[in-house]
């Protein structure tokens, strides 16, 4: 169908170049390859080549190459000349004296070259059958999924809380006052103040919850308020690693 219409015959004005379609049944890489193909095709023993028969078939193929691809015919013509020379030498009459001298066979050099080429070609075919990376074997590849790691917080030991409390008490000595009056402090009220400081849900350093200006009494009340909140699971104490600074945050219930 062309533009919706059935095409049953070639158009009259259709031009097809002579070289538009080229079919190659056999591809040879040189004259020795062609000779070896002809010998195998006729089941001829390579040590007993029928020069006349092989020369006739070889020249037929060379004539075809000259008609199709003239640029490839030069090296094949050299081999054709060699075959013609061997054929003419074998047709020359031999005297009894020359036959007795065991003259070298005119085909010997050609047979040697064919045997050597056959060995190399067979080795190349054996190498080509070995599995090759990218042709027969492919490396498996996979993209690793993106991993999201969650860092677990270390549990805070009671001893470390006491050490942190001791450090805060030591700092309060710098703010000791000589006032005689005593301020009444409520643990419940201080618990509410701690929760208010942690209402944003962020981590707050442990020492930041204490007001050093209140002295030891204020520090102790705040500490008791923190312990009471931990007991009631309203806040939690965390550390990024052992012996590091302690942080406090409001506990979220999922």
pLDDT digits (tens, 9 = 90+) for 100-131: 455 667 778 888 888 888 888 888 888 888 88
Residue 204 CB neighbour total at 10 angstroms: 16
Q: Is 150 exposed, middle or buried (0-12, 13-18, 19+ CB in 10 A)?
A: exposed
Nearest to 82 by CA among 23, 129, 133, 35: 35
The pLDDT of residue 107 is: 77
- Who wins on pLDDT, 246 or 179? 246
Kindly list the structural domains of the chain, giving each domain's residue range(s) and its CATH number in brackets, ordered by start: 31-91+103-129 (no CATH), 158-250 (1.10.10.580)
pLDDT tens-digit readout, 48-96: 777 778 888 888 877 777 666 555 556 777 788 888 888 787 777 766 5
pLDDT at 208 over 50: yes
User: What is the DSSP annotation of 28-77?
Assistant: -SSHHHHHHHHHHHTT--TTS--HHHHHHHHHHHHHHHHHH-GGGHHHHH
The pLDDT of residue 103 is: 60
The pLDDT of residue 69 is: 57
Q: What φ, ψ does residue 222 adopt, rounded to 5°? A: -65, -40
CA distance 119 to 125: 10
The pLDDT of residue 128 is: 85
Q: How far apart are the first and last CA of the chain?
A: 69
pLDDT at 197 over 80: yes
pLDDT tens-digit readout, 180-190: 555 567 888 88
CA distance 252 to 254: 6
The pLDDT of residue 8 is: 80
The pLDDT of residue 179 is: 61
25: confidence class by pLDDT, cuts 50, 70, 90: very low
Quote the radius of gyration of the chain (alpha carbons, Å): 51
Q: Which long-range contacts (CB under 8 A, 24 or more apart) does 172-176 make?
A: 172/212, 172/215, 172/216, 172/219, 174/212, 175/212, 175/213, 175/215, 176/215
CA distance 154 to 19: 82
The pLDDT of residue 12 is: 76
39: confidence class by pLDDT, cuts 50, 70, 90: confident
């Amino acid at each position: 169908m062309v533009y919706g219409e059935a095409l049953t015959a070639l158009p009259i004005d259709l031009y097809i170049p002579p070289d538009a379609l080229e079919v190659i049944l056999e591809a040879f890489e040189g004259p020795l390859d062609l000779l070896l193909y002809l010998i195998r095709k006729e089941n001829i023993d390579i040590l007993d080549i029928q020069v006349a028969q092989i020369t006739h078939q070889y020249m037929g193929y060379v004539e075809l190459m000259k008609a199709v691809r003239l640029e490839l015919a030069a090296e094949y013509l050299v081999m054709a000349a060699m075959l013609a020379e061997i054929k003419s030498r074998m047709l020359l009459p031999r005297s009894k004296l020359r036959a007795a001298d065991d003259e070298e066979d005119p085909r010997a050099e050609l047979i040697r070259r064919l045997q050597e080429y056959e060995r190399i070609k067979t080795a190349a075919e054996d190498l080509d059958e070995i599995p090759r990376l990218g042709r027969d074997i492919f490396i498996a590849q996979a993209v690793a999924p993106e991993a999201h790691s969650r860092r677990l917080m270390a549990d805070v030991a009671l001893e470390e809380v006491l050490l942190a409390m001791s450090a805060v008490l030591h700092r309060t000595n710098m703010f000791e006052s000589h006032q005689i009056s005593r301020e009444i402090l409520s643990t419940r009220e201080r618990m509410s103040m701690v929760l208010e400081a942690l209402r944003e849900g962020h981590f707050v350093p442990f020492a930041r919850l204490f007001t050093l200006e209140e002295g030891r009494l204020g520090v102790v009340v705040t500490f008791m308020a923190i312990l009471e909140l931990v007991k009631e699971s309203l806040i939690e104490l965390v550390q990024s690693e052992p012996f590091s600074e302690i942080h406090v945050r409001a506990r979220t219930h999922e």
